[in-house]
Structure 1
């Protein structure tokens, strides 16, 4: 038996629900505020890029892919003047721990952590810059945070592959946001958080219209097919950690984490467009 891309995607999605608390929990936003950097999404850029060290904005633009360069440049390197990268990382980690324990309590996650760490041990860094940077960061001691950190490693590994799939498909950052937002029902969220102007967004939509990928009703069949292709390539590129774990252990990890995932979905921590996907 082998781990199929569909099983790998299900396992990633189960852990991802815990990991994305670091992007939406109010405790995290409050933790970033103490550093006093007023730029939009400064904390997001600083914490997620902290594994790179005090990097230049161009590295964030390149590796995060879908954010408007001006949004990144407004925050980086100002965030490093306000606090060292490890301080931003610690702020996120501590705030995430608070939210996880508030929602999930003190569950016994020892078996799930062992399985998740085994999956992470099968991830390789070549061609995965964000994952590679985070793979050098020590694991936290708190068991729930270890599960969250495993989700981070698996998510960034998958994300690096997703960028490659987007580029292969010929979708530039704005086009990736338009098509991805239409496919997932998150257009309002991505349009309001990625920093592109209305003119830049409309130009991206027009480019997609010329390619026959969108129309007045949203994604065309060709557009849906292209997004399906992007997700298929992303899934294929993201299987190695799960293949290392093996199908029976992957299924067991999904079984163990699913109740925690559901409690997080039910907690109201995550936006509606994530909760509606279950």
Structure 2
């Protein structure tokens, strides 16, 4: 038995919405942070404590170091990690509450929490940091935080796979863009300079994964698919049998919730 791809995609969508809504920047400004990037890096790393920029570069992997250094460690002088984490939960429950009720998500929160209990978190720092947090009292918050642990679990596995295959942050982003798996603006969104981006292209061309025009080759497409498959295998190997079974069981319900949330954000 394996974990269905729609499960992981739904987990990702439900977790990431808290970083993508327009009000996120204003929300973090209200507690003293400066700018949307400071809010993003501080809020996602807050479970690790007053994380250094070096730690965040290492665990987030895909962002240009200078972008992280612009936000950290300054953020911790404006708001403590505990305050930032509370603000992120407040934002998450507010966004979820547009489309969902605590009663609706309570069973999924229970199921996700049971999945978390069945994860081997060795070598998965962001997931472990999130898992160490006290579960919120309300069901919307409990649901979102458990979902975040599972999302960071797969993210940690993916970073491990990328590093094992010798792909740095810029290389992984260049490959994703060439494969059509991310936004056209990904270079700017992740803070990479033109020279850094070009160097990433050069390294992927040397592997035979991109052609001279920067288009992905069949070899590169196969490699990109294998990176995802290897991530799935890494996740599966670190999940208990019960956790996998629960993920399979709740996939359709989780996908329905993710769709309802996306629809609410379009109105």
TM above 0.5, one fold? Answer: yes
Q: 1:243 aligns with which of 241, 244, 254?
A: 241
Which runs of structure 2 are paired with 1:77-92 in the superposition (5 Å)? 77-92=73-88
Residue 185 (structure 1) shift = 3.7
Unmatched tracts of structure 1, length 5 or more = 270-278
Tell me the SS of whatever aligns to 1:21.
helix
Q: Is the 8 A contact 2:209 2:216 kept in 1?
A: yes
CA shift, 1:115, in A, is 1.3
Which of 230, 241, 247 in structure 1 is aligned with 2:227? 230
Give me the whole-angstrom Cα distance separating, in 1, the residues matched to 2:104 and 2:252: 14
Name the structure 1 match of 2:111.
115
Distance 1:77 1:140, change over 3 A: same
Compute the displacement of 1:250 (Å): 2.8
How far 1:228 sits from its partner (Å)? Answer: 1.0
CA contact (8 A) 2:106 2:143 kept: no
Q: Cα 1:246–1:158, aligned 2, differ >3 Å: closer, same or farther?
A: closer
Aligned partner (choices 93, 96, 100) of residue 100 of structure 1: 96
TM-score (normalizing by structure 1): 0.88
Q: Is the 8 A contact 1:213 1:220 kept in 2?
A: yes
Structure 2 portions without partners, runs of 5+: none
2:252 equivalent to 1:255: yes
TM-score (norm: length of structure 2) = 0.91
Confirm or deny: 8 A CA contact 2:102 2:138 kept in the other structure: no
- Give the equivalent residue in structure 2 for 1:20: 16
1:10 aligned onto 2:9: no
RMSD value, Cα: 1.9
- May I ask how many residue pairs the two structures share in their alignment? 264
What CA distance in whole angstroms lies between the structure 2 residues aligned with 1:217 and 1:267? 37
Describe how 1:186-197 pairs up with structure 2 within 5 A.
Answer: 186-197=182-193
Q: Distance in 2 between matches of 1:37 and 1:110?
A: 32
Measured after TM superposition, the shift of residue 137 of structure 1 is 0.6
Matches within 5 A, 1:8-87: 9-38=5-34, 41-87=37-83
Correspondence for 2:217? 220
CA–CA separation in structure 1 for the residues paired with 2:110 and 2:248: 14
Q: CA separation of 1:246/1:57 partners in 2, compared to 1, >3 Å: closer, same or farther?
A: closer
